[in-house]
Each structure stands twice: as C-alpha cells, then as structure tokens.
C-alpha cells in the first residue's frame, strides 16, 4: 500500500491525494487501511480511463478530484462501505490478477447468455432461418450456466466499488435490463418447449406474442451491454 501511495504522489495531482486523506480522516480510517487503498486504486483506474478521452493532464486531475469529492459528500452507506472492505473486495480491487480474472469471467458469462438469447430472438423474428428451435432447448441450459457465472463474477466486481456502483445510473440500468431479460427469457423458454417442433417448419407462422417477447428480449440485452460499457465513463 505504501508503494501505491508513493506512485500516486508521483502521478496524481496533490489535490487528489489531499482528498483521499480527507476521506479517511472524516471516517476515522488509518492512512494505510484497506478502505483508503481501495479509494487510491479507484483514482488510478478512473484517471487511466479518462486519459483515453483527454490529453490534458490537468483535466484528468480535475476529473479524479471531482469523483473523490463526490465520495466525500455522500451520506453514510455502511453496508456498501463494509462490502468494499471485505477480503473479496480487496482481492478484486487490489491484487494483480483479481480484477482481470473476475472481469474476464464476467465477459465470458455475458457472451454465453447474450449470444444464445440473441440468436434465439433473431430466429424467432425470422431474421435468421435454418436453425433448429429444438437445439435451443439444450442451449438454454448453457445460457443459465452463463448467467450463473455472470451473477457470481458480477457480485464480486460490485463489492470492489459498491458505493460507486450503487449510485451509478448506467449500472442500475444494466441490472434492470438484465433482470428484465431473464424474466422475458423464462417466458420464451416456456413457449419454446411447447412450440419448438412447430416453429422448425419454415412455413409455420410464429405468433405475434412470441415475436413481441423476442423483440423485447433483444432490447433488454442490447441495453444491458451498452449500459455496462457506460459504467466506466459516466
């Protein structure tokens, strides 16, 4: 942690370091406590992300400073603050391999879920033809496994920045979209079990209620992907 503070002192504007210190003193935290370490790592991560959009180093410092000020000005959120001090949160947020491993697992789970659901949606909308609907009955099991990976890895990612995510509009939109997509997916699965054999006939008309579910599912998963990408930037 001391090495991290030294690195921050060299790379980040002094005002940001002062804000990090004030965050700890306002909450009675030790200078090298896990919570302060998490905030320091967050500043580095945010500054790194912002650097892709701004060439001016001063802009990076001002952006990071505003984020720390917003953290200081928040009301008390003991549950979410406690989550950020758990061993899992510290491992994800600070270890060399924790964040890449969990984020990679999250991406794999999302690819499985979205890939299967979107393909099925496009088949139901007759955008893609020639794929057996019966095959999706087996693929649905894989989709739920992917969703389980997402829930586990997503929960781990959430603990590392719980106080930030819980107030992030893109994060809340993503979670809502995923939840809605899962509910719609359950309804589609029930319909698929009853009608898969009939839908495999290219001449069979897929009822409008089923295509409406497919269209809604597409909106949910596309919305979840876009919102998920915006979490890092808004």
pLDDT of the residue at 59:
43
173 found inside a domain: yes
Q: Per the structure, how many domains does the chain have?
A: 2
The 3-state secondary structure of 185-215 reads: HHHHHHHHHHHHHHHCCCCCCCCHHHHHHHH
Are residues 13 and 48 part of one domain?
Answer: yes
First-last CA distance in the chain? 27
158 found inside a domain: yes
Are residues 189 and 111 part of one domain?
Answer: yes
197 found inside a domain: yes
Are residues 114 and 216 part of one domain?
Answer: yes
Tens-place pLDDT, residues 18-62 = 655 555 555 555 554 555 555 555 555 554 444 433 344 444 444
Are residues 105 and 45 part of one domain?
Answer: no
Are residues 207 and 158 part of one domain?
Answer: yes
Tens-place pLDDT, residues 165-221 = 999 999 999 999 999 999 999 999 999 999 998 898 877 789 999 999 999 999 999
Domain that holds residue 69: 2-73
Are residues 66 and 114 part of one domain?
Answer: no
């Amino acid at each position: 942690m001391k090495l991290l503070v030294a690195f921050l002192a060299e790379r980040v504007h002094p005002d940001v370091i002062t804000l990090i210190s004030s965050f700890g003193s306002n909450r009675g935290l030790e200078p090298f406590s896990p919570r302060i370490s998490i905030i320091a790592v967050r500043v580095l991560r945010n500054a790194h992300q912002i650097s892709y959009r701004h060439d001016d180093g001063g802009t990076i410092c001002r952006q990071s400073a505003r984020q720390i000020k917003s953290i200081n000005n928040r009301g008390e959120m003991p549950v979410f603050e406690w989550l950020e001090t758990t061993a899992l949160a510290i491992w994800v947020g600070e270890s060399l391999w924790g964040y890449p491993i969990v984020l990679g697992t999250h991406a794999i789970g999302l690819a499985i879920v979205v890939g299967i659901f979107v393909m099925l949606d496009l088949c139901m909308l007759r955008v893609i033809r020639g794929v057996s609907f019966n095959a999706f009955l087996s693929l649905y099991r894989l989709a739920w496994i992917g969703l389980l990976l997402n829930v586990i890895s997503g929960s781990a990612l959430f603990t590392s920045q719980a106080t930030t995510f819980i107030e992030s509009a893109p994060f809340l939109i993503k979670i809502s979209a995923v939840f809605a997509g899962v509910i719609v997916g359950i309804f589609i699965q029930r319909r698929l079990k009853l009608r898969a054999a009939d839908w495999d006939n290219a001449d069979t008309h897929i009822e409008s209620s089923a295509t409406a579910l497919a269209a809604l599912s597409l909106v949910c998963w596309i919305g979840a992907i876009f919102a998920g990408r915006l979490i890092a930037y808004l």
